Structure 1
Amino acid sequence: MDFTNPLVYGVPCFLGLILLELTYSKNHNDEKSKKLYNWKDLGASLTMGIGSAILAPLTKTIAAIVLFNYVYEVFNPLVDGVRMNIMGWESFGYAWYTWLICQLLDDFSYYWFHRQNHNVRFLWAAHIVHHSSDNFNLGTAVRNGWFTIFYKPFFYMWIPAIGFPPEMLVVCLGIEALWQFQLHSVYIPKMGFIEKFMNTHTMHQVHHAQNLEYMDKNHGGFLNIFDKMFGTWKELDENIEIKYGVTHAPNSYNPLVILTHEYKDIWNDMKKSKNWYHKFMYAFGAPGWSHDGSTLTIKQIRKQMEAETLKS
């Protein structure tokens, strides 16, 4: 059964909503709204978004047609005309509840994919592109790194392996992307009961903040249950002024600099020590790790602050 990726219809909507938010912000009396969009920053975001859109069909071919289908065929062979999983159950069909389960598993995979993008520096070097703007708006939503799409499918390949059709997973990935896009708005307030289980706009503001108490929080896709289960959930405190962006910003509107600056920093850090373990950790340890303590990870900073608090 063939399905169309929802993003085919979503991309024109993305551009229309960006234009709508941009127009509203520039004509709003609030000073923060007038500063919501920076023209050069928006230009960089749109350039990277267009690049992602060009690369997406290629990676979709690799991921959906080759990787997902290959895994599905290997782990779900035809037995007497029936698709059976090698673990002994019949592979899943297209019942409505199967779609819901697939979407839940997709969100679970997204959580770990997203969390590892923040915990493994080599992956962070690709993902930092999305966080590199100090503006939080729908333009930032399309500011995607070009390299994450090459390894993202590997976080999801277990889903077709257990029997979900590859085309179903592709649709669920598209739905996840649609939800993620619209989260990048400061104009949607807290949403009451929905906040208890959904990943909302205010929660995503927390995720994009460089405030210490907010960093590495709220990695969920459309649900927040996995953040709550695994200790990475944080509610927005409206008394705290958010500072968006990253602590080591590219300080450039050049898309190529934005896309590659963290890889350059990794290379420079690896040259600081001849020890191969140190080199490995600079590339694959948590961002901020250093062999001499000259820079610290977020966890190390928090532990240090807790220790100082106990002493005082």
Structure 2
Amino acid sequence: MNFTNPLVYGVPFFLALILLEYTYSKSHNNKKLYHLKDLGSSLFMGVGSAIIAPLIKTISAIVIFNFIFEIFNPEINGVRTNIMGWESFGYAWYIWIACQILDDFTYYWFHRQNHMVRFLWAAHIVHHSSDNYNLGTAVRNGWFTILYKPLFYMWIPALGFRPEMVVVCLGIEALWQFQLHTKYIPKMGFIEKIFNTHTMHQVHHAKNVEYMDKNHGGFLNIFDKIFGSWKELDETVAIEYGVTHAPDSYNPWVILTHEYKDIWNDTKKSKNWYHKFMYIFGPPGWSHDNSTQTVKQMQLALKK
């Protein structure tokens, strides 16, 4: 059975909603919500992702996911059977729900590692590099993230979920993530207890020290709560959006690559190979001489 990635239909709505929010902000005394040069950079990178993603999808869905599915779910007497002994999963409604939850669990750890490992952060920082929080920022995605993201999801088809099902769930996750990037939706009562909402994602995009590296969830917030990374929005605290070491440029190539350049420069600060390794694969902000601090170090200092 073949399915189409929901993002194929989502792109026109993304552009329409960005235009709607932009127009609404300009006519309702919130003229600073959008900065045209910043929006231009975000849209350029969004268009680039839209071009690159289908090419990577061909590799991830057709090659990687199918390869993993075939290896772990061989056909035995005409029936796809997982190597653990159960029959590979079909398309029943409850299988779809299970796949979406596993997708969300995977997204949580994929997203969290993007903040914990500097080499991955170098790709993900693109999404956080704008000082603005709006639907335009939602499409400001790093192009290099697409190259390794499928590797986090390989275990799902290995369990017996159909590769095309995993791709659809990935698309649904992305649709939910897009609409979170607006300040016009307030807290939503009971929904906040289950789902990752707009105010929670505002926390995620803040560079306030107490908010950094929080709320990594996709459409659920349960994994943040279980693994200690959840934080509620304090509406009495003014949010500052962006990153502590911004690219300070509207040039898309600078935005896409500036952290890689910083990593390279940092590796030259010490001849010790462990230090070099940590500058690449340690947490962002790690330094051998404490000249810079990680988020954990900054948050511990804030509590003192």
The residue type equivalent to 1:6 in the other structure is: P
Matches within 5 A, 1:32-71: 33-71=30-68
Unaligned runs of 5+ residues in structure 1 are none
CA–CA distance in structure 2, aligned partners of residues 304 and 205 of structure 1: 23
**DSSP-derived class of the 1:37 partner:** coil
Match of 1:280 in 2: 277
Match of 1:27 in 2: 27
**DSSP-derived class of the 2:176 partner:** helix
The residue type equivalent to 1:263 in the other structure is: Y
Match of 1:226 among 223, 228, 245: 223
Match of 1:174 in 2: 171
CA–CA distance in structure 2, aligned partners of residues 258 and 65 of structure 1: 31
1:131 to partner: Cα distance: 0.2
Matches within 5 A, 1:89-238: 89-238=86-235
CA–CA distance in structure 2, aligned partners of residues 184 and 280 of structure 1: 34
2:40 is the counterpart of 1:5: no
* TM-score normalised by structure 1 residue count: 0.97
CA–CA distance in structure 1, aligned partners of residues 132 and 300 of structure 2: 29
State the superposition RMSD in angstroms.
0.5
CA–CA distance in structure 2, aligned partners of residues 235 and 90 of structure 1: 42
Superposed CA deviations along residues 12-43 of structure 1, whole A, max 9, x for unmatched, are 000000000000001113xxx21000000000
CA–CA distance in structure 1, aligned partners of residues 257 and 236 of structure 2: 35
CA–CA distance in structure 1, aligned partners of residues 302 and 38 of structure 2: 34
2:89 is the counterpart of 1:84: no
Superposed CA deviations along residues 52-87 of structure 1, whole A, max 9, x for unmatched, are 001011100010000000000000000000000000
The residue type equivalent to 1:45 in the other structure is: S
2:225 is the counterpart of 1:250: no
Match of 2:17 in 1: 17
The aligned length equals 304
CA–CA distance in structure 1, aligned partners of residues 94 and 206 of structure 2: 36
Superposed CA deviations along residues 213-265 of structure 1, whole A, max 9, x for unmatched, are 10000000000000000000000000000000000000000000000000000
1:302 to partner: Cα distance: 2.0
User: Among the aligned pairs, what percent are the same residue?
Assistant: 80
